[in-house]
Amino acid sequence: MTREEILALKPGKAFNVCVSEMIMGNRVVTDAIFGETEIYLSEHGETVFGRLQPYSEELTSARLVILKMADLGYTEASLWENEERPDVICRAALLTILDEQKGKKKRRSGAKLHIVK
DSSP assignment of 55-86 equals: TTT-HHHHHHHHHHHHHTT-GGGGGGTT---H
Residue 114 inside a domain? The answer is no
pLDDT bucket at 101, cuts 50 / 70 / 90: confident
Q: What is the distance between the alpha carbons of residues 25 and 85, in angstroms, rounded to a whole number?
A: 22
**pTM attached to this predicted model:** 0.84
pLDDT at residue 21 in the model:
97
Residue 117 pLDDT more than 80? Answer: no
Residue 111 inside a domain? The answer is no
Residue 87 pLDDT more than 90? Answer: yes
How high is the mean pLDDT of the chain? Answer: 90
What domain count does the chain have? 1
Question: Which of left, alpha, beta for 73 (phi over 0: left; psi -120 to 50: alpha)?
Answer: left
Print the domain residue range for 61.
3-24+54-101
Residue 29 inside a domain? The answer is no
Residue 113 inside a domain? The answer is no
Which amino acid is present at 103?
G
Residue 11 inside a domain? The answer is yes
